[in-house]
Amino acid sequence: MTLSPSDTDPAATSEMPSEPAPTPATPIGTTSNRRRQIGSVVLPPFLLGLGILGLWYAISYLVLAERRRFLLRPPHQVIEKGFLDTSTFSEILSGLVSSARVALIGLAIAIVLGMTIAVIMSQTKLAERAIFPYMVTLQAIPILAIVPLISFWFGTGQTSRVVVCVIIALFPIIVNTLFGLQSAERGAHDLFTLHHASRLTRLRKLMFPAALPAIFAGLRISAGLSVIGAVVGDFFFGRGDVGIGQLLRRYANRLQGEELLAAVIMTSALGVCVFWFFGWLQNRAVGKWYDPSSSGT
C-alpha cells in the first residue's frame, strides 16, 4: 500500500487548504414573495390614485366649461399655486399647525375624560345605565346647533375650538373603551374572584389588557374626528391664530379653487398622519400578543 505525503507528514496535512463551510441556502421564492407582498400593499392605492387623477382631469376639462372650471381646477394648477407658491404654502402650513395644536389638545382631553367615564361605567351597571343615555344624546346633537351656546359660554377663541373637538371625539373613546373593558373572559374573572383580587387589581391586570385593542380602535376613530372638530371650530370661531378652517372659508369666499383644494389636501394629510400614528402605537403596544385573526375563533 502506498502512502501519500499527507499521510506521513503532519506539516503537510496542516498546510492543506481546508474546504469552505457550506453556506445556508436561501429559500427559493423568498425574494419574489417579499416583492409580491410589497406590490399587494403599494400597487392597489397607486392604481386607484391614478384613476382618481384621471377622473379629476376628465371632470376639469371635459365636464366643466372653461368659465366654470374654478369649481374644480386640474391637479397641476393646484400643485403650482397651492404647493409650489411659497407664500400660499406657508400660509396653509401655518394654519394647519394651528389646527393640529387645537386637535391634539382636544383629543388629549377627550381621551382622559372618555377613559375615566368608561372605567366608571365598567365598574357598576347602575353607572352605565345612568351615564350612557346622556353620552348618546351628546353624540346625537348636531354640533352646529350648540355653536351659539359654546360661543356664549367660552367665547370665540381657541377654547371654543377645543370644546368642539372634545364633543366630537368623546363618544367613540367611551364606547370602545367600555366594550373592551367588558370583553374579558368570564373564566378569567372567576379566577380573579377565586384569588380574592381587588377591583383595582382586576382592572389593572385583567380588564385593561383585554381592552387594549378596542381602546386603540376608538383612539384611531377619535383622532380623525378631532381634526374634523378643529376645522369646524375654525369655521365658526375666528379669533386667535388663523386655523385651516378659516383659510378654507376665506378661499371659498374668494373663489380661489387651487388654494382651497390644496388646503383640503393638507387637512386630509393631517388626519391620515394622526390615524397612522395611533395605528403604529397600537402595533407597538399590542401587536406582539394580539392576533386579530384569532378573535373570530
Question: What is the domain partition of the chain in residue ranges?
Answer: 84-284
DSSP state of 23: P
CB 180 within 8 A of CB 213: yes
Instruction: Give the predicted TM-score (pTM) of the model.
Output: 0.76
- Burial (0-12, 13-18, 19+ Cβ within 10 Å), 278: buried
Q: What is the mean pLDDT of residues 120-127?
A: 87
Residue 228 pLDDT exceeds 60? yes
Spatial CB neighbours of 131, under 8 Å, sequence gap ≥ 6: 117, 120, 121
| Mean predicted lDDT score pLDDT of the chain | 80
Give the model's pLDDT for residue 110.
93
The band of 113, judged by pLDDT with boundaries at 50, 70 and 90, is very high
Among 6-15, 111-120, 186-195, 237-246, the range of highest mean pLDDT: 111-120
pLDDT of residue 238: 67
How does pLDDT run across 33-86, given as a tens digit for each residue?
777 777 777 788 888 888 988 898 888 888 888 888 777 888 888 888 888 888
pLDDT given for residue 127 in this prediction: 86
Report the pLDDT averaged over residues 134-148: 83
Q: Which of 1.10.3720.10, 1.10.357.10, 3.40.630.10, 1.20.1510.10 would CATH assign to domain 84-284?
A: 1.10.3720.10
Q: Is the pLDDT of residue 90 over 80?
A: yes
Q: At 231, is the pLDDT very low, low, confident or very high (cuts 50, 70, 90)?
A: confident
Q: Which three cell numbers stand for residue 78?
A: 393646484
> pLDDT: is 39 or 100 the higher one?
100
| Enclosing H/E stretch for 93 | helix 86-123
Does 148 score more than 50 pLDDT? yes
Q: What is the pLDDT of residue 240?
A: 65
Q: Which residue has the higher pLDDT, 149 or 20?
A: 149
Does the pLDDT of residue 250 top 90, yes or no? Answer: no
Q: Are 243 and 231 a contacting pair, CB within 8 Å?
A: yes
pLDDT confidence of 20, banded at 50, 70, 90?
low
Taking the C-alpha atoms of residue 148 and residue 272, their distance in angstroms, rounded to an integer, is 30
Q: Please give the share of the chain, as a percent, with pLDDT higher than 70.
A: 85
232 close to 143: Cβ distance less than 8 angstroms: yes
Lowest mean pLDDT among 152-166, 178-192, 258-272: 178-192
117 — pLDDT class (breaks 50, 70, 90): very high
What are 172-200's pLDDT values in tens digits?
999 999 998 888 777 777 777 777 777 78
